Structure 1
Amino acid sequence: MSENHRSSKPLTDRGRPSLQSECENCFGLCCVALPFAASTDFAIDKNAGQPCPNLQSDFRCGVHASLRQLGFRGCTVYDCFGAGQKVSQVTFGGQDWRQAPESAKQMFEVFPIMRQLHELLWYLTEALTLQPALPIHSALSSALDETERLTRLSPGSLLELDVAAHRADVNALLLRTSELARAEARRLQKAPSGRQKTYGRGADLIGAKLRGADLRCANLRGAYLIAADLRGADLRSADLIGADFRDADLGGANLTDSLFLTQAQLNAAKGNAATKLPPSLARPAHWSASGA
């Protein structure tokens, strides 16, 4: 890697818009391809490949404005990272599964693969915005280009792709990115490591009482934070990749500069007007408007 490249500024979030869901350009793939079971998240059972009864002929949801009230909370949490429109408009060239029923099965099988690739694109795009990761920006850029190339494979080639192996390669880079970013943040924030409890990947923090906790620069990769009380917690520069925030209370928490946070994680959590978010993510509509 040249010195000029090492000293260059990190990339911006210019790739993020294409990694956000555009339901108007999708053939309702998440409403058909994915299965769900009657639970607190879904009011009914549905098999993979079976259209949801709420899916209309124009591929729009007929009860979109009332999903939570009607027991379809899981629908409001899910995010495809833009995979739906990629499969619909690029992989299958704008031909929907109703017009071409012979392609339906293949389309539905390709969709979850594309979703994984687009999730990796989200993380890699973020990694390339982080100044401390400049020493590995060349490798991150190569991984981004390769992942983008994979998203443009034919349906048959996508079905043959070893996504797990590719995820493992990318994850090694994301882990290194996290280490570099958190080390630099500790230095700049002068985070008092002696007062901070450390957690390993996949930590069981279900229902944990972490109100007001100093979790700056913490490693919370894959942590189970289901129903955890994180009100007022400081999560700046914490690695949150894969953390489970279902029903976690993020009221007043500071998530600015957190690492690898996604919209789906926020959608699964509770929060309010006082919750501080990264600029690339939106405040979920179901969150409390009160900052109390």
Structure 2
Amino acid sequence: MIELAADCSRCAALCCVAPAFAKSSDFAGDKPAGRPCRNLGDDFRCTIHEELPQRGFPGCVVFDCFGAGQRITQDTFGGRDWRSAPELAGDMFALLPVVRQLHELMWYLTEALKLDEARRLHPKLRAAFDATDALAGADPAELRGLDVEAYRMKVVPLLRRASEMARSRVGGRRPDHSGAQLIGRRLRGADLRGASFRGALLIGADLREADLRRADFTGADMRGTDLRGANLDGAIFLTASQLRAAVTGADHP
């Protein structure tokens, strides 16, 4: 069974080393690619994990490798890590963004297979999942040579079709906010059933009590999006990391 959720206990903290961090509202300091974060402990655990937002690292909270980290560590490299085998570091770090994108695609394909309205696409979705899984399990040389963006663009149209089939059953006008700049937009209580927010910037948007059933959130930036009281039943391609970035709990004023 392929794991599409991060299991940090089985990963060598690849996301804390491989990517570069730029000092911003998401990260309290700069970090070049390939250098361990200053908060990384010798045991591959974050020393400030319980205080990341308070210490200026909310970007870490919302990052999701979709299980790519443990697959690279445990499967591709057989449980070895970049500290005990530094000769592997270059490959391990280079593979993280590749395998992460493949696992993210697999997560979307898994979600699309849950859409009853897209039943006639299920065979193609399953075939795409199997093909993507095979790529993610390739050896390091194959993965480094993979044009993952070109591959992604072959799969995305299938995911869009599945979304459109599901959203078309909603009825009504189904607003299209694909790629829209909705930063800080007041949409409280709006009827947004079947809407598309693909790639939209929803930073700080007010979606309290909005009807978001069967809305598509693929790739939407939802940092600070207020979703309190919103109806998200049947929302499409809404990730756990997007929900972590949004305001969802009663503990917010």
TM-score range normalised by the length of the shorter chain: over 0.9
**1:236 pairs with 2:213:** yes
In structure 2, stretches of 5+ residues that fail to align are: none
Matched letter for residue 244 of structure 2: N
Task: Tell me the TM-score normalised to structure 1 length.
Answer: 0.84
Which of 105, 109, 114 does residue 124 from structure 1 map onto? Answer: 109
Correspondences of 1:179-194 after superposition (within 5 Å) = 179-184=164-169, 186=170, 191-193=171-173
Size of the alignment, in residue pairs? 253
Amino acid at match of 2:186: K
- Counterpart position of 1:279: none
User: Is residue 150 from structure 1 mapped to residue 127 from structure 2 by the alignment?
Assistant: no
- Deviation of 1:192 after TM superposition, in Å, equals 3.5
1:69 aligned partner, one-letter code: Q
Q: Over residues 62-111 of structure 1, what are the superposed CA-to-partner deviations in whole Å (9 max), with x where a residue is unaligned? A: 11111111111111111111111011101111100001101101110001
For 1:219 and 1:76, the matched residues in 2 are separated by 25
Residue equivalent to 2:155: 170
The C-alpha deviation readout for 1:109-158, integer Å capped at 9, x for no partner, is: 00111110010000000111111111111111110000000110001110
User: 1:7 — aligned with what?
Assistant: none
1:221 corresponds in structure 2 to 198
Amino acid at match of 1:171: V
Preserved contact between residue 113 and residue 122 of structure 2 (Cα < 8 Å): yes
Which residue identity does 2:22 align to in structure 1? A
What TM-score does the superposition give when structure 2 sets the normalisation length? 0.96
Contact 2:218 2:237 in 1 (8 A): yes
Unaligned stretches of 5+ residues in structure 1: 1-14, 274-287
Asked if 1:202 is matched to 2:179, the reply is: yes
Paired residue type of 2:202: L
Contact kept, 8 Å, 1:252 with 1:272, in 2: the verdict is no
> Is 2:135 the partner of 1:135?
no
- Asked if structure 1 preserves the Cα contact closer than 8 Å seen for 2:186 and 2:206, the reply is yes
> For residue 283 of structure 1, what is the aligned residue in structure 2?
none
Aligned-pair Cα RMSD in Å: 1.4
Match of 1:277 in 2: none
Cα shift readout 1:37-62 (whole Å, capped 9, x = no counterpart)? 11111111001100001111110011
Which residue number corresponds to residue 59 of structure 2?
Answer: 74
Is residue 113 of structure 1 aligned with residue 62 of structure 2? no
Residue 200 of structure 1 deviates from its aligned partner by: 4.1
CA distance in 2, matches of 1:167, 1:53: 33
- Distance in 1, matches of 2:3 and 2:65, equals 11
Letter in structure 2 aligned against 1:223: A
| Structure 1 residue aligned with 2:245 | 268
